Structure 1
């Protein structure tokens, strides 16, 4: 798991160098069925959204919410593949 976490951080930094800020957060909950804490990973980015009155507001756009760190790495890798060919 520590290896996947490191890979996720490297991908996150590489994407940041292309100008896209992606935040990776976590939350935990206790699963009664599994009798253990479950960690949920959340990928998000900030966007500007126009409100009904025409004003702009900062919003968090959730990209992915999952309990699988491998899914997070795969998602970041897909984003990196799209970003790496773009000029800053």
Structure 2
């Protein structure tokens, strides 16, 4: 018996892997938000490269989340977003 390949989601899609869980409006909104964030990041990084600092923040967020420290991960994520916005504004 030959198995059929499952259709793959585009690499840039945030669509869930199960059709039953798909919410086209939510997926579209998240895709748009991700695209806008990428544009803002690229513009800010062009003026003041801070990706090493941001990568360290990402690692700390991930470590907290993986260890089950949800409140800590949430706080680190809020701090990360606020600090990026501040850096982006100051580099304009």
Shared fold per TM-score greater than 0.5? no
Q: Which has the higher strand share?
A: 1
Q: Which has the higher helix share?
A: 2
Structure number with bigger Rg: 2
TM-score (norm 1): 0.32
